[in-house]
Structure 1
Amino acid sequence: MPERALARSVQSVVNFELQDADGLAEHIGQRFAPVRIEPIRAADRFTMSGTYGQVAGIDFSRSRVQGEFRIFPKRLYDGVFFMFPGAGSIVFQQSRENVMSSPTTAVAAEGLACRSMEFLADSSFCGVVIDRPVFAGRLSALLGHPVVEKPVFQPAFDMASGGASALRALVMCITGPEFGPQLNRMSLTAERIRETLVDLVLETWPNSYSEILRRPAPMIAPQHVKLAVDFVHEHAQMIPSGTELAALSGVSLRALQQGFRRFVGVSVGAYQRQVRLERARADLLREPGTSVEEIALRWGFTNAGRFSRYFKAAYGIFPTELIRRKT
């Protein structure tokens, strides 16, 4: 089946036609995470067809749906869904609020916060799904320093805006019959499209990095900021104070704080905490048998409850949920 080929391909564009819940669940599970699918009404039938593409951490699609159904993830997925409906609507039921698309409203939904998706009223749509590590890598390259705070995207985006229209037009182009199949034979072009999609999302879809990305180039961090950033990464377990970091960098505490705010986007303390959270997250994934309390203490979090709250704010799930998902 074409869907099985998707799981083996680093880069692929295929047409698909799915006639039942099992086929759609398999299609989604091979790329994202296992799901359960239910019709809105017990007697309803549905079909989904269209074009699907995948290039190293990014998925793009153009789909048509007949019927109404819900998708329930069995395991949460660390990525962001950007959906551009042409007809009908899609509802993302998230942990804090529901986000609903329409032909005039595109939506961005967090995979880690998604409790279900509803496809309503015979819908058509195109969409892009981008893995979180892809955003982190691209932002680090664009800003010239490690990025540890994930971008937060505005949930709803007016389709009348130039940015939303440009994104939709690009996805429609690369999933079109004249262009899409060519990507299977053009690895260099596919990589450029991958970067273009990520950059276009970051530049046009309102997010927590929009302001810093709009600043005039070049935005090269001064030497004292680079020294402090390098020290934090190399000695993450030491947790030096802001005053100590400033002394090590040869500037005043105020100058260091201003430098971090301008070139890193967060305070010195917040940056240190995020680096330690990232190290703790890596250890939790690498050592699922080790207790959360032990790993939290290893990285300087003396209060396990506070560590769990910080972790949930940064990654959308509690440390214990991450371990359960891993095992």
Structure 2
Amino acid sequence: MRTSFRTDDVDEARAMIEATYYSNFMDVLHGTGVFRARFDIGALGALTVGDLSCGADVRMRCGELGAYHVDVLLSGQLTWRQGPAPATRAVPGTAAVFQPLGDTVLERWSGDCRMFAVKLDRAAVEQSLEKLLGRPVRGPVTFAPAFDISSGPGRGWARLVRTVADDLREGTGALAQPLVAAPLQEALLHGLLLSAGHRYRDQLTDPAQALRPAPVKRAMDAVHERPDHPFTTAALAAEARVGVRWLQEAFRRYVGMSPMAYVRDVRLSRARAELVAACPEERHVSEVAHRWGFAHLGRFAEQYRARFGELPSETLRG
């Protein structure tokens, strides 16, 4: 999907942002220029990437986003806040990072501000982190509100965003090819996790991760490739080509949990991804729980809340 949109009508611009990103209220700040919105927006799997500018200073209120979001500034400035946190300002050379939760307000999106706006599906980001870490993650990923894109890994990530935005704007069709789109989506997800600040970042660059034994990796890969398979510890040991006791001890040492606890956590993550994407009128928590091997609904709800900080019914309604 690709949209090239031009308008001097604020309501039309607001509707386009709602259709492609988030519900919002947009107000032009008087005396700041002529409003002329220029939006070039496209989808890349679990990501939405847009090249956006408004021509006049605007204020925008979006409520909770429900997704991770990054604005890469090319010019001008952006001042925003989420929840009770104080306002943060971004200028060229920095990227503004937004969380899925917390009321979101762009206090001032300056008229001379052109930016690449990247919306990232929450489940995709969290699953990518788990894949990089090689273990489940407890709770949401909380990013620092901004990161440097003038040097280091942030600069490389911003360049990749520009490549994707340029292709979407020019409509070359390259990103319509799965063999091109899938690696780019993965690179953007992984690149953000390696560039932005969060509590797991040091672990992603820790060389000790490379020391995890190959049998443990084989068992973990099997779980990620076939999470709905009725694994037992013995079956995982067979996948890893080691004995049951060796696998149990290795998992506790290198993963921090037993093999079957790891299977359960991966299935909880998959159940969460399904609930996030589901329509409450068409899907029931019990249906999702049973699909991922949780026969006891009450126990599933307890384990889910311990893992994600909310009940599965709350995820489905959200």
Is TM-score (shorter-chain normalized) higher than 0.5? yes
| Alpha-carbon spacing, 1:219–1:131, altered in 2? closer, same or farther (3 Å) | farther
Deviation (angstroms), 1:267: 8.0
Deviation (angstroms), 1:194: 3.0
In the alignment, what sits opposite 1:129? Answer: 119
Pick one of 309, 319, 324 that aligns with 2:317: 324
Give me the whole-angstrom Cα distance separating, in 2, the residues matched to 1:212 and 1:17: 44
- Tell me the TM-score normalized by structure 2: 0.67
Which letter does structure 2 place at the counterpart of 1:129?
K
Give me the whole-angstrom Cα distance separating, in 2, the residues matched to 1:142 and 1:157: 20
Deviation (angstroms), 1:15: 3.2
Which letter does structure 1 place at the counterpart of 2:251?
L
Give me the whole-angstrom Cα distance separating, in 2, the residues matched to 1:125 and 1:100: 16
Give me the whole-angstrom Cα distance separating, in 2, the residues matched to 1:192 and 1:256: 30
Deviation (angstroms), 1:193: 3.4
Deviation (angstroms), 1:113: 0.3
Deviation (angstroms), 1:259: 1.6
Which letter does structure 1 place at the counterpart of 2:215?
Q
Give me the whole-angstrom Cα distance separating, in 1, the residues matched to 2:10 and 2:173: 28
1:56 to 2:45 alignment: yes
Residue identity over aligned pairs, in percent, reads: 17
In the alignment, what sits opposite 1:17? Answer: 6
* 1:271-326 superposed Cα distances (whole Å, 9 cap, x missing partner): 4664464365447958768578x96995575596x66753653xxx654443334x
Deviation (angstroms), 1:235: 5.9
Give me the whole-angstrom Cα distance separating, in 1, the residues matched to 2:217 and 2:45: 32
* 1:182-212 superposed Cα distances (whole Å, 9 cap, x missing partner): 5425535444433332332233223344334
Give me the whole-angstrom Cα distance separating, in 1, the residues matched to 2:66 and 2:122: 6
After superposition, residues 7-156 of structure 1 pair within 5 angstroms as 9=1, 12=2, 14-33=3-22, 35-39=23-27, 46-65=35-54, 66-73=56-63, 77-85=65-73, 86-94=75-83, 97-98=85-86, 100-103=88-91, 105-110=94-99, 112-120=100-108, 121-122=110-111, 123-136=113-126, 138-139=128-129, 147=136, 149=138, 151-156=141-146
* 1:100-121 superposed Cα distances (whole Å, 9 cap, x missing partner): 23215422212x3042231513
| Alpha-carbon spacing, 1:197–1:203, altered in 2? closer, same or farther (3 Å) | same
Stretch deviating more after TM superposition (223-232 or 204-213): 223-232
In the alignment, what sits opposite 1:260? Answer: 255
* 1:251-284 superposed Cα distances (whole Å, 9 cap, x missing partner): 38664321214xxxx7879746644643654479
Would the aligned equivalents of 1:83 and 1:125 in 2 still touch at CA under 8 Å?
yes
Which letter does structure 2 place at the counterpart of 1:259?
Y
* 1:61-81 superposed Cα distances (whole Å, 9 cap, x missing partner): 2222212222324xx554311
| Alpha-carbon spacing, 1:291–1:61, altered in 2? closer, same or farther (3 Å) | closer
* Gapped regions of structure 2 (runs ≥ 5): 233-242
Give me the whole-angstrom Cα distance separating, in 1, the residues matched to 2:163 and 2:227: 44
Pick one of 295, 303, 310 that aligns with 2:306: 310
Would the aligned equivalents of 2:72 and 2:95 in 1 still touch at CA under 8 Å?
yes
In the alignment, what sits opposite 1:5? Answer: none
Which letter does structure 1 place at the counterpart of 2:89?
S
Secondary structure of the structure 2 residue equivalent to 1:135: helix
In the alignment, what sits opposite 2:190? Answer: 199
Give me the whole-angstrom Cα distance separating, in 2, the residues matched to 1:24 and 1:299: 47
* Gapped regions of structure 1 (runs ≥ 5): 1-8, 239-247
Give me the whole-angstrom Cα distance separating, in 1, the residues matched to 2:96 and 2:258: 30
Q: How many residues align?
A: 290
* 1:22-48 superposed Cα distances (whole Å, 9 cap, x missing partner): 323332333344x13142769998443
Which letter does structure 2 place at the counterpart of 1:193?
L
Which letter does structure 2 place at the counterpart of 1:60?
V
In the alignment, what sits opposite 1:223? Answer: 215
Would the aligned equivalents of 2:39 and 2:53 in 1 still touch at CA under 8 Å?
yes
Root-mean-square deviation over aligned CA pairs: 4.5
Would the aligned equivalents of 2:141 and 2:198 in 1 still touch at CA under 8 Å?
yes
